């Protein structure tokens, strides 16, 4: 044995690019690291700055690469760590030290859950708000134009409404848009034959409103009711619900994607489905917001704010819809919604109650 002190660690040495290996030991010799075989002959060596020591992960073998491309591999991780600590390179293994099985991991789990919840509850909505704020107005315009074009070509048809009826609806519509923040210029009302979409009204993000003949039929002579429904749709536009929905979905998908490798494919699918359910609950709260908007707008315009509630009553009667809210529905249950609207009206009429 040579007289240069004890070995730091024992392991295997490979020449550059070869699978051939020799049992060897690692030692320090005059300020440089060297690998020596069982006879004491030096196989490779280099100064500490010229060799590369792989970072520690669990108990997997440690690799030390020398300038000549040869490799020393050892399972004695602790010995290498002690050697590095003695050389003042202790900060190298910081991540590994965090990962060690230790009661402190409980705190990490708690921190992870807390941070995850905070991101979902605070950071994500905040990011969505920022994204909505910086979205130039041209984006919703282009989105809406292409959506309307697509719908016209696939689902909707020419409206068959007579002029008088159209005029009455447009009058009411003008009264409410005059009170809304977008003003008359911000909204256009389009009449279409619903076909597959049936009695319906919807708003595109740039303030294009679409009203189907079937809904007008359903309302009969109650024009105010239709105006109430339109006010509800204006609420969706003013609160930018559709943009928010898009950004939220993108944010949730990105969050799931980033930790995908660490949770396994099955759990990832469950998270994606769960995200879908959560976005439904978001759209329910959006509906409630739009209902409230309808009530306020109708009051300001001096129209009957219960109009939208009457519409739900009608839906219930005509379509026999007694559905209760569940987490699987996009719209709040009809009876529940009617009650909420009546409460809102009472609250707005006597605010000092």
Partner 1 sequence: MTLAEPLSAQTVGQGSFGRSADRDFQRLSFSGSASEYFGIWVVNILLTILTLGIYSAWAKVRRNRYFYGNTVLLGRAFEYHARGWQILIGRLIVFAYLVLYNVMLTFVPLVGIALSVLLLFFVPWLLARGLRFSARVTSYRNVRFDFVGRAGGAFVAFIVGPVLAALTLGILAPLASRWSYRYIGNNLRYGRKAFATDPSVGQIYRNWAISAAIIVLGFLIVGFVVALNSALIATAIENPDFAEMVEMQASLTLLIVLGYVLILSIFGVAGLVYRAGVRNVAWSATTFDGRHRLLSDLSRLRYTWIAVSNFVVTLVTLGLMRPWAAVRMARYVNEHTAVRFDGNVGEILSAIEAEGSAVGAEFMDIEGFDFGF
Query: Rounded to 5 degrees, what angle do the CA atoms 140, 141, 146 make?
Result: 100
- The smaller minimum CB distance to partner 1, of residues 138 and 317, is found at 138
Residues lying near partner 1 in the complex (CB under 8 A)? 12, 14, 17-21, 57-61, 63, 71, 73, 95, 98-102, 105, 108-109, 111-112, 115-116, 119, 138-139, 142-143, 146, 250, 254, 257-264, 266-267, 270, 322-324, 326, 328
209 in helix, strand or coil? strand
Distance in angstroms (rounded) separating the CA atoms of residues 163 and 169: 10
Looking at the DSSP bridge assignments, the partners of residue 14 are 71
- The smaller minimum CB distance to partner 1, of residues 214 and 316, is found at 316
Least CB distance to partner 1 at residue 114 (A): 10
The string of DSSP letters for 297-337 reads: HHHHTTS-TTHHHHHHHHHHHHH---PPP-TT-SS--HHHH
Please name the helix (run of DSSP H) or strand (run of DSSP E) that holds residue 10, with its range, or none. Answer: strand 9-14
- The smaller minimum CB distance to partner 1, of residues 256 and 299, is found at 256
Distance in angstroms (rounded) separating the CA atoms of residues 328 and 290: 20
- The smaller minimum CB distance to partner 1, of residues 41 and 139, is found at 139
- The smaller minimum CB distance to partner 1, of residues 109 and 185, is found at 109
Least CB distance to partner 1 at residue 130 (A): 14
The 10 Å Cβ neighbour count of residue 196 is 9
Distance in angstroms (rounded) separating the CA atoms of residues 237 and 294: 12
Least CB distance to partner 1 at residue 161 (A): 31
Least CB distance to partner 1 at residue 265 (A): 8
The 10 Å Cβ neighbour count of residue 28 is 17
Least CB distance to partner 1 at residue 286 (A): 21
Least CB distance to partner 1 at residue 225 (A): 25
Report CA-CA distances (Å) from 124 to 130, 134, 155, 238, 269.
10, 15, 35, 21, 20
Least CB distance to partner 1 at residue 102 (A): 7
- The smaller minimum CB distance to partner 1, of residues 267 and 319, is found at 267
The set of residues, in sequence order, having a beta carbon less than 8 Å from that of 193 and lying 6+ positions away, is: 156, 157, 158, 159, 160, 212, 213, 214
- The smaller minimum CB distance to partner 1, of residues 20 and 353, is found at 20
Least CB distance to partner 1 at residue 123 (A): 9
Distance in angstroms (rounded) separating the CA atoms of residues 315 and 311: 6
Give the tokens for residue 200.
């319906």
- The smaller minimum CB distance to partner 1, of residues 74 and 223, is found at 74
Give the tokens for residue 203.
């708003």
């Amino acid at each position: 044995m040579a007289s240069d002190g004890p070995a730091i660690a024992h392991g295997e040495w490979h020449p550059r690019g070869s699978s051939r290996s020799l049992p060897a030991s690692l030692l320090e010799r005059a300020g440089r690291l060297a690998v020596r075989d069982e006879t004491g002959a030096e196989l490779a060596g280099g100064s500490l700055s010229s060799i590369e020591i792989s970072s520690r992960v669990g108990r997997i073998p440690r690799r030390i690469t020398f300038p000549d491309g040869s490799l020393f591999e050892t399972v004695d991780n602790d010995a290498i760590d002690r050697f590095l600590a003695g050389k003042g390179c202790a900060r190298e293994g910081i991540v590994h030290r965090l990962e060690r099985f230790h009661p402190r991991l409980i705190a990490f789990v708690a921190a992870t859950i807390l941070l995850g919840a905070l991101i979902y509850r605070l950071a994500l909505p905040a990011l969505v708000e920022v994204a909505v704020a910086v979205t130039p107005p041209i984006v919703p315009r282009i989105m809406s134009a292409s959506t309307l074009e697509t719908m016209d070509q696939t689902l909707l048809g020419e409206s068959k409404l007579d002029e008088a009826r159209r005029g009455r609806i447009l009058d009411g519509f003008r009264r409410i848009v005059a009170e809304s923040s977008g003003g008359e210029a911000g909204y256009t009302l389009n009449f279409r034959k619903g076909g597959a979409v049936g009695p319906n009204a919807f708003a595109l993000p740039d303030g294009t409103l679409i009203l189907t003949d079937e809904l007008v039929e359903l309302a009969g002579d109650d024009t105010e009711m239709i105006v109430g429904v339109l006010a509800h749709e204006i609420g969706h536009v003013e609160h930018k619900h559709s943009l928010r929905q898009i950004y939220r979905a993108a944010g949730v998908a990105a969050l799931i994607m980033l930790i995908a490798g660490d949770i396994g494919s099955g759990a990832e699918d469950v998270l994606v489905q769960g995200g879908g359910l959560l976005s439904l609950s978001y759209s329910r709260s959006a509906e409630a917001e739009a209902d409230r908007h309808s009530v306020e707008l109708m009051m300001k315009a001096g129209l009957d704010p219960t109009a939208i509630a009457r519409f739900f009553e009608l839906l219930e009667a005509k379509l026999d819809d007694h559905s209760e809210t569940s987490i699987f529905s996009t719209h709040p249950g009809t009876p529940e919604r009617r009650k909420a609207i009546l409460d809102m009206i009472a609250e707005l009429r006597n605010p000092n109650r």
